[in-house]
Amino acid sequence: MNRETPTATQSGTDKIVQDPIAQRRLNPHLFRTRSTSARGTFWHDLTELHEQDLKSILEQSESAFRSLDGARIFITGGTGFVGLWLLESLAYAKECLGLDILATVLTRNPEAFGEKRPHLRENFDFLEGSAETVPLPSDQFTHVIHAAPDGDALAAGARRMLGFAEQCGARFLFTSSGAVHRADCGDYALAKRIGEEETVHYKDGLVARMFTFVGPHLPLNKQFAVGNFIQSALSGWPINGRTGGSAIRSYLYASDMASWLWAILGFGRAGETYEVGSSHPITIKDLAEVIGRLASQPVIMDGQRDNGPARYLPETAKIKSELGVKETVSLEDGIRRTLRWHQELAPRPKIHPDWSIYRPAEFAHV
């Protein structure tokens, strides 16, 4: 695959493109990539996310990105929701800031991922396998991000990646889950607890405890209430939660999520745990009402009881005071952007309107 990336005009010694949107309009090839196959030549946008979101991450995280200049990063879970936002924003920052950052992404199917997202295949190296079993590269890395879910309750993947980081002398970021707070946790939360305990005892380990989010790339047919409601709305069905709707959640928009993670990686204190999520609570019923209003779809909440914990909220005072991160996108605006992204860019598989049949009991209404 060939790539044409003419050099952007820069003023003085400042490497940042001050207005990436204007730069793209002046020189569109800078943010496009070309692939050639037997079917012909095709141009692809360098990103599948709206420029507004990527520019926001860049503005919030410029100092974190610049601190990573010269870094060599190993990332697991790069093809999931969190990983995609990290890769998209990193590729964008590299282009806009002219940074020398190399990243190797561990995924079970690099070929399929590359076919779907050629702009990311051009920016990063990919390694096939899982965190538990992949032969680890002999290259030296400065940072290891473990964003993949662990396949067992013993956190074998997290432990192996932590050992790899220790071998490299690298900073290690472990993405955990707010599910560790639950008393009735299953294997998933147990693995996260073990991963957290191991990480905070490593000399340069950091924990990002993830809560609930909304934004492009969020799976719509899994255990996330906001995604399920958006899927129903996009498909023209009434939003039916099959729940009483009184459970309380909060939703951080994905561009803020990515900015917070880059801040943790760049400036977080070793041995610390930072909770990542919104501090603005909302009931599931009110969430459904907001999505129904924005998508012009009726809402039905006909369940007799709620699923999952009554409250699932992060404590964000620490990360906001220590790292200076902010919530820049409101829930309503985040839902609006997510709807627009799915309408304009994303293929939308049909699912059954009673989305509760897809909902694992352990994580219902997360």
pLDDT of residue 46: 40
Q: What is the pLDDT of residues 294-315, one digit of tens each?
A: 999 999 887 666 667 889 999 9
Residue (of 116, 115, 199, 119) closest to 157 by Cα position: 199
* Res. 7 pLDDT band, cuts 50 70 90: very low
Tell me what the pLDDT averaged over the chain comes to.
83
Collapsing DSSP states into helix, strand and coil, what is residue 330? coil
pLDDT of residue 301: 83
pLDDT of residue 49: 79
Residue 362 in this model has a pLDDT that exceeds 80: no
pLDDT of residue 153: 66
Q: Are strands 143-146 and 72-76 parallel, antiparallel or unpaired?
A: parallel
Rounded to an integer, the average pLDDT of 125-130 is 95
* Res. 243 pLDDT band, cuts 50 70 90: confident
Collapsing DSSP states into helix, strand and coil, what is residue 323? helix
Collapsing DSSP states into helix, strand and coil, what is residue 240? strand
pLDDT of residue 196: 96
Residue 82 in this model has a pLDDT that exceeds 60: yes
Q: Quote the CA–CA distance of 245 and 287 in Å, as a whole number.
A: 9
Collapsing DSSP states into helix, strand and coil, what is residue 115? helix
Whether the CB-CB separation of 123 and 53 falls below 8 Å is answered with no
> Which run of H or E residues covers position 248?
strand 248-249
Q: Does the predicted TM-score (pTM) go above 0.85?
A: no
Q: What is the pLDDT of residues 143-179, one digit of tens each?
A: 999 999 876 767 899 999 999 999 999 999 999 999 9
Residue 137 in this model has a pLDDT that exceeds 80: yes
Domain 48-363 class, CATH top level? alpha beta
State the burial class of residue 66 (Cβ atoms within 10 Å of its Cβ: 0-12, 13-18, 19+).
Answer: middle
pLDDT of residue 160: 96
State the burial class of residue 217 (Cβ atoms within 10 Å of its Cβ: 0-12, 13-18, 19+).
Answer: buried
Higher pLDDT, 359 or 85: 85
User: How many CA atoms are closer than 13 Å to the CA of 28, on its beta-carbon side?
Assistant: 5
- Comparing 42-46, 65-69, 113-117, 254-258, the range with the smallest average pLDDT is 42-46
* Res. 52 pLDDT band, cuts 50 70 90: very high
pLDDT of residue 222: 85
Q: Are strands 248-249 and 282-283 parallel, antiparallel or unpaired?
A: antiparallel
pLDDT of residue 140: 95
Residue 44 in this model has a pLDDT that exceeds 50: no
- Comparing 14-28, 201-215, 341-355, the range with the smallest average pLDDT is 14-28
* Res. 344 pLDDT band, cuts 50 70 90: confident
For residue 302, how far is the Cα from the chain centroid? 32
Residue (of 149, 113, 117, 115) closest to 130 by Cα position: 149
Q: Quote the CA–CA distance of 212 and 147 in Å, as a whole number.
A: 15
pLDDT of residue 330: 98
**Among the residues of the chain, which ranges form H helices?**
20-26, 51-67, 81-97, 110-116, 118-123, 156-168, 187-200, 225-234, 254-267, 284-295, 317-323, 331-344
Residue 359 in this model has a pLDDT that exceeds 70: no
Long-range contacts of residues 160-167, Cβ cutoff 8 Å, at least 24 apart: 160/131, 160/132, 160/136, 161/74, 161/76, 161/131, 162/195, 162/198, 162/199, 162/202, 162/205, 164/74, 164/136, 165/141, 165/202, 165/204, 165/205, 166/202, 167/136
Q: What is the pLDDT of residues 90-115, one digit of tens each?
A: 999 999 999 999 999 999 999 999 88
- Comparing 88-102, 215-229, 346-360, the range with the smallest average pLDDT is 346-360
